[in-house]
Structure 1
Amino acid sequence: MKISSIYAQIFRKNTTLSFLLLSLFFGCYPSPEPARNVAINPLFSDNMVLQQNQDIPVWGTAEPDGEVVVELLGQRKSTLVDSSGKWSVKLQPITAGGPHELLVSGENTTKLKNVMIGEVWICSGQSNMEMALAGNGKINNYKEEIANANYPNIRLIRAQRAKSTVPLDTINTTGWQECKPNTIPDFSAVAYFFGRHLYINLNVPIGLIHSSWGGTLAEAWTSAEALKTLPDFVDAVESLAADTVKFDEAMQIYEAAMKNRKQKIIENDVGFRAGKYIWNASQLDLSGWKNMQLPTIWEKAGHKNLDGVVWFRKTINIPKSMSGKDLTLHLGPINDNDITWFNGIKVGGLDGVNKLREYQIPGSIVKTGANVIAVRVFDMGNNGGLWGEAEQLKIVDKSGQKISLAGHWKYKIGFNLNTLSPEPKSPNDPNRTTLLYNAMLHPLIPFAIRGAIWYQGESNANRAYQYRTLFPTMIKDWRTKWNQGDFPFLFVQLANFMKIESEPAESAWAELREAQAMALELPNTGMAVAIDIGDAQDIHPKNKQDVGKRLALNALAKVYDKEIAFSGPIYKSMEKDGAKIRVQFSHTNGGLNSKGNTILKGFAIAGADKKFVWANAKINGDEVVVWNAKIKNPVAVRYAWASNPVCNLYNGAGLPASPFRTDAWEGITENNK
């Protein structure tokens, strides 16, 4: 007979003996002492929302070896603090509801009140996600939207801006708040409208965790481990890991390098000699200067890979009626920075791609006859030039008399920035690889979530082909780190922005939208198309209501199994039909249509020479027939392929078609790293 069987018989015959032996055994292991200085992670606070129907991790810090107890809705979980001072427990899934209380106890007890169980979403990206209802941009109808934002079961928390070279455990935050008119003004507008639409349709508490930073790159939101799998980012990640220089010293090194770089740009500018600018002079030999039709970005005028300095000059005839009078010079937006002279006298200069240039010209330098405008444009990357609308380029006097400046300008390249080594990264720059992941995303893990919404891409547009791998790598990275499987990841395709092109042209923004659409190949992803709700003059369009709604439509259909349309038409396939091309779509939902039943716009067609021209287009069921009488043997079609396309293809649900191309010809960002 086995020894275990003998002991079993003895225990069954003598329960008193069994009890005594067990008491002696466990008496050797006294109960752990309550932990000292128990603190819960800042993600957990009054008014919070915990994810329903999933395991709920709860964690924090305390002095090592003590016991921490967490209690919620009858559940009681205990754990010992590890040697590093960290503790965590996992509560079992709970259905939606509340309010409840969450207790965390050691020697001290923390009681979190007004805790709800519902749906939790991460809301991240750059400035269009960060843009608040009443922020600098002020969304459409912001006063009315704020006044009506009385949804106490929508809960809000924001991670304050932070960066770190190593992964952090906590965010800077003031905690969770109920959504009310006094708490919503500075919160993400896109996140709010997304959450509001979910709440109205699901009728459960909604938790929105907002963590975004304007002007940031996708690689800043991606972990070092993930970026090391992409050759383009290995050096940057390793450089960051090896950077042991203290911040103050690093800033001094950076500032010295930038000062030296700026001086090199000025000194190597052919329009700068002997310590002063010379191409601003009113009298100048213009032989060797070329013509460019303005406004335009110079990438559209044959300089697609040029970053740096380009000088523009225009001679205008001032009539006697304007001579000697104060004038206002309007140049529209300039990408990126400018210095402007009138008759050799500096009249203005601004930094920033979206700022409208309006400079005052004193009447003392305005003369009858020929007057010269000179503009030095410095483009740091992506597109460059005077890129607004033709009517924005003008000189106006106080009576309203004006002279148009649109048309031919003389230009000459002063300096090609690509001849310099890459610009050094500031230690204070949030766009260094991994910094925002480390400080603003890693601390959120492993908070239980339903999914994430993402609005970003503008800052990566000049490297759109690279984004084809970077973006899905980031998505997979977040999912791996959260260890919740392929949680839903919904994103916004870039809205229309910049000047409307009169002819088909290449576009970095179009290529970025294409890269975003490619991410739909990943499971559990969704895309909100915004090609019809942007703003030519503002990279931060004010219609955030439709952006949030279209994200929510994706969530309701794909995550919450609502039988609704969630996407506009998506390109599926094409087939040649003589001198025409037939384009097929998915997500036609009630049939294709042109908005307002007008003529279809936005289609371009090309033959084997790759030269696109505007095309005729006609809806035929769930496909569009495209042709141009001048193209006898067409091979490719593009739709809405521009930074700011004029396009009007929708489905029966009123959702716009996503831009696309049927060709795979080389793009303007293909070799950008």
Structure 2
Amino acid sequence: MTIPSKALRVLIIVFLFTCQLVHAQVKLPRLISDGMVMQRDAEVRVWGWAAAGEKVTVHFNNKIYQAITDAAGKWFVTLPSMKAGGPYTMTIEASSTVVVKDILIGDVWICSGQSNMALPMERVKERYADVIAKAENPAIRNFFLSTQYEFKKLRDDVPSGSWEPATRVNVLKFGAAAYFFAKTIYEKYRVPIGLINASVGGSPADAWLSPEALKKFPEQLKEAERFKNDAVVDSILSTDRARSRAWYNYIRQYDAGYNGTKRWYDTTYTATDWPVMNIPGYWSEQGLNNLNGVMWYRKEIDIPASMARQPAKLLLGCIVDSDSVYINGVLVGTTGYRYPPRRYTVPAGLLKPGKNVIVIRVINTIGKGGFVEDKVYQLSNANAAVNLTGSWQYRVGAVADPLPPTTFIQYKPGGLFNAMIAPLLHFPIKGVIWYQGESNTGRANTYHAEFRTLIEDWRRHWGQGDFPFIYVQLANYMPISTSETGWAELRGAQLKTLSVPNTGMAVTVDIGEWNDLHPLNKEDVGKRLARAAQHVAYGEKDIVYSGPIYQSMKIVGDKIVLRFVNTGSGLVTKNDEPLKYIVIAGADKKFVPANAKIEGNTIVVWNPEIKKPVAVRYAFMDNPQGANLYNKEGLPASPFRTDQ
């Protein structure tokens, strides 16, 4: 078809005009958006994109700032240092106009690490119901980054995210530790607080290192280079998806609970021949071998008339790995992986007076499957509660080979820095709070080098000098034992990192949970981070900002005298009990329980059988639950070893 010349000219003009409009649109990074918090007492860069060679004018706080875009369309202006305040409005003009509203000037904190920093208030809402109900503070704002990875370049923006003020609804999405940190800091200084949460569950430290920093670690650098190849990434993703799909299809196809004349959750199915086992517990510890596949559980319970036909809450602790739960034949909830607490809502009308049947289908992919101990298992509402622990019927639905492990590409070296930290580097900050290390316990011997490098790397890229970097030392976890494996070693590496200038550490070895990687007490975590920040970031020199930290030792005859810093008003043991988890060794390095006596700000340690002691360790184990050395301000001592 031939287009008339006049019509062709019109099409060309429309096309060029459209292109001009598209290319002239002012674009801002997502951080620079409604509700943002900008760092006080610091020059602030405002940047974005427009057409090449275009003049951009920024109106802010009764002043005008101008820039010309470069050949790539990039531009920036620098705002002068400002005091805390707001709200303000910013207008950016070029061929188009963008207005950014409700801007506050305050303190901006990067909140990073793995799942314990990402874990939202929603996960701890039962524990902190009153705090959530009162969370109406527009001066505390949160910008949460979704998980992204990149290996080939440094990204200049994030694909999603917005600034949200603390409200009863919004706060459920705030990282819990970060929110308690911000709340404490705000209540102390009354300045707006902006939280930028760039955390990824399960992420190791090297995923947060820049390409330059990875050069110090040849193996990680090699891995990062490998993942620059899209074909490698695509192949891994495709293979993993195919394996997972085949595995789940297999257990679905051969699950006897789905393939008989009646499904095992059906109300008309009878289970008179099913054996019994206890919940909670793992089936490998109750006479069965580790089983990969499907296990079904069934229990008949009596519901009192006062509870019947009313909505209820079903709590099933934590289950390894995934579950689907039926009450009277109706699916009431499902969870796809092991860590979240099982909290299901039972709708009104489903429960009936007298006999009711709960059926749980559990899928275990590898290792120990079952129900985590020391959790709450009950069905309840305002009128009554039914305890669900104890004897349940069970039956194997399907058995399979272990599910092949998945490659978490976002955990590969450098991927998270490039995608989630690089876009933030132009944004001035007050400092960083960091909760990470669980994923490095398998190679704790290299953690100090990686973590120190990470701190130095981020400071170099931000170009703000040695800004405050406050981090959480790992909580106690796993069954109580005297083992000194990855968790103890990693806490030691974190303790050692206090030698890096302008750092602070929140000790949490007294608030973990042996059976949960994600302890619920995030309030004390946030408050202890805030205490450290008050000293390191806000210059509070007189505050007791940490528990006792081992400083040095001296051998005096057959005893060792330990000295500490951050002793506050004095060293104490909790409830004035003898010091726990203190051991001593001679030249053979065989550690045995020791006697210990607090003398002023020192501790004298000895064992009558060891005449020439050389080393002491305190709480240096994976889970020293009940470790009881504190200062009088109530802050716990960090575990330590003198034989570094």
Please, what TM-score do these two structures have when normalized by structure 2? 0.74
- Quick check: 1:519 aligned with 2:468? no
Would the aligned equivalents of 1:341 and 1:347 in 2 still touch at CA under 8 Å?
no
CA deviations on 1:210-245 (whole Å, 9 max, x unpaired) are 11111111111111211112233232122223x141
Say which of 176, 179, 190 aligns to 2:166. 179
Say which of 596, 602, 607 aligns to 1:623. 602
- What CA distance in whole angstroms lies between the structure 2 residues aligned with 1:353 and 1:549? 28
Say which of 83, 87, 92 aligns to 1:95. 83
Say which of 162, 177, 188 aligns to 2:175. 188
Say which of 240, 253, 277 aligns to 1:328. 277
- Quick check: 1:557 aligned with 2:535? yes
| Residue correspondence of structure 1 range 80-479 to structure 2 within 5 A | 80-135=68-123, 138=124, 141-165=127-151, 166-241=153-228, 243-245=229-231, 248-253=234-239, 326-329=275-278, 332=281, 340=289, 350-351=320-321, 426=407, 429-479=409-459
Would the aligned equivalents of 2:37 and 2:194 in 1 still touch at CA under 8 Å?
yes
Deviation at 1:249, TM superposition (A): 4.0
Would the aligned equivalents of 1:602 and 1:639 in 2 still touch at CA under 8 Å?
yes
Change (3 A) 1:649 1:479: same
Residue 508 of structure 1 aligns to which amino acid in structure 2? G
- Give the superposed CA RMSD: 3.5
- What CA distance in whole angstroms lies between the structure 1 residues aligned with 2:471 and 2:520? 18
Change (3 A) 1:378 1:181: closer
Would the aligned equivalents of 1:335 and 1:353 in 2 still touch at CA under 8 Å?
no
Residue 535 of structure 1 aligns to which amino acid in structure 2? E
Deviation at 1:113, TM superposition (A): 1.3
Would the aligned equivalents of 1:388 and 1:498 in 2 still touch at CA under 8 Å?
no
The aligned counterpart of 1:669 is none
The aligned counterpart of 2:483 is 505
Deviation at 1:157, TM superposition (A): 1.1
SS in 2 for 1:453: strand
Would the aligned equivalents of 1:452 and 1:490 in 2 still touch at CA under 8 Å?
yes
Would the aligned equivalents of 2:184 and 2:530 in 1 still touch at CA under 8 Å?
yes
- What CA distance in whole angstroms lies between the structure 1 residues aligned with 2:76 and 2:69? 8
- What CA distance in whole angstroms lies between the structure 1 residues aligned with 2:37 and 2:520? 29
The aligned counterpart of 2:33 is 45
The aligned counterpart of 2:630 is 650
SS in 2 for 1:430: helix
SS in 2 for 1:184: helix
Residue 221 of structure 1 aligns to which amino acid in structure 2? W
Deviation at 1:61, TM superposition (A): 1.1
SS in 2 for 1:118: strand
Deviation at 1:631, TM superposition (A): 2.6
Would the aligned equivalents of 2:281 and 2:372 in 1 still touch at CA under 8 Å?
yes
SS in 2 for 1:39: coil
Find the structure with the greater CA-based Rg. Answer: 1
Please, what TM-score do these two structures have when normalized by structure 1? 0.71
The aligned counterpart of 1:599 is 578
Would the aligned equivalents of 1:581 and 1:627 in 2 still touch at CA under 8 Å?
yes
Residue 276 of structure 2 aligns to which amino acid in structure 1? L
CA deviations on 1:231-286 (whole Å, 9 max, x unpaired) are 33232122223x141754442355679999x9xxxxxxxxxxxxxxxxxxxxxxxx
- What CA distance in whole angstroms lies between the structure 1 residues aligned with 2:282 and 2:471? 28
Would the aligned equivalents of 2:431 and 2:537 in 1 still touch at CA under 8 Å?
no
The aligned counterpart of 1:589 is 568
SS in 2 for 1:534: coil
- What CA distance in whole angstroms lies between the structure 1 residues aligned with 2:237 and 2:567? 54
- What CA distance in whole angstroms lies between the structure 2 residues aligned with 1:105 and 1:47? 19
SS in 1 for 2:177: helix
SS in 1 for 2:550: strand
- What CA distance in whole angstroms lies between the structure 2 residues aligned with 1:556 and 1:184? 23
- Quick check: 1:543 aligned with 2:543? no
Residue 653 of structure 1 aligns to which amino acid in structure 2? E
Residue 548 of structure 2 aligns to which amino acid in structure 1? P
Would the aligned equivalents of 1:462 and 1:508 in 2 still touch at CA under 8 Å?
yes
Residue 143 of structure 1 aligns to which amino acid in structure 2? A
Residue 472 of structure 1 aligns to which amino acid in structure 2? R
Change (3 A) 1:401 1:459: closer
- What CA distance in whole angstroms lies between the structure 2 residues aligned with 1:52 and 1:335? 57
Would the aligned equivalents of 2:208 and 2:413 in 1 still touch at CA under 8 Å?
yes
The aligned counterpart of 1:64 is 52
- Quick check: 1:641 aligned with 2:620? yes
Would the aligned equivalents of 2:373 and 2:515 in 1 still touch at CA under 8 Å?
no
SS in 1 for 2:106: strand
Deviation at 1:81, TM superposition (A): 1.1
Q: Is 442-451 or 610-619 further displaced after alignment? A: 610-619
The aligned counterpart of 1:495 is 475
Q: Which runs of 5+ in 2 are unaligned?
A: 1-20, 248-271, 298-318, 322-336, 342-363, 377-387, 393-400
Would the aligned equivalents of 2:109 and 2:431 in 1 still touch at CA under 8 Å?
yes
Change (3 A) 1:386 1:251: closer
SS in 1 for 2:225: helix
- What CA distance in whole angstroms lies between the structure 2 residues aligned with 1:624 and 1:140? 40
- What CA distance in whole angstroms lies between the structure 1 residues aligned with 2:53 and 2:548? 58
The aligned counterpart of 2:380 is none
SS in 1 for 2:206: helix
CA deviations on 1:98-134 (whole Å, 9 max, x unpaired) are 1111111112111111111111110011010011111
Would the aligned equivalents of 1:51 and 1:118 in 2 still touch at CA under 8 Å?
yes
Say which of 520, 529, 532 aligns to 2:507. 529
Deviation at 1:389, TM superposition (A): 8.0
Say which of 561, 584, 592 aligns to 1:613. 592
- What CA distance in whole angstroms lies between the structure 2 residues aligned with 1:526 and 1:437? 22
The aligned counterpart of 2:267 is none
- What CA distance in whole angstroms lies between the structure 2 residues aligned with 1:400 and 1:37? 65
CA deviations on 1:328-377 (whole Å, 9 max, x unpaired) are 146846999x98379xx988995478699xxxxxxxxxxxxxxxxxxx99
- What CA distance in whole angstroms lies between the structure 2 residues aligned with 1:238 and 1:341? 38
Would the aligned equivalents of 2:154 and 2:418 in 1 still touch at CA under 8 Å?
yes
Deviation at 1:174, TM superposition (A): 3.5
- What CA distance in whole angstroms lies between the structure 2 residues aligned with 1:440 and 1:182? 25
- What CA distance in whole angstroms lies between the structure 1 residues aligned with 2:231 and 2:434? 33
Deviation at 1:153, TM superposition (A): 0.8
- What CA distance in whole angstroms lies between the structure 2 residues aligned with 1:566 and 1:334? 45
Would the aligned equivalents of 1:333 and 1:355 in 2 still touch at CA under 8 Å?
no
SS in 1 for 2:531: helix
SS in 1 for 2:409: coil
- What CA distance in whole angstroms lies between the structure 1 residues aligned with 2:143 and 2:339? 30
Q: Is 523-532 or 557-566 further displaced after alignment? A: 557-566
Say which of 539, 552, 555 aligns to 1:573. 552
SS in 1 for 2:466: coil
- What CA distance in whole angstroms lies between the structure 1 residues aligned with 2:425 and 2:176? 24
Would the aligned equivalents of 2:144 and 2:162 in 1 still touch at CA under 8 Å?
yes
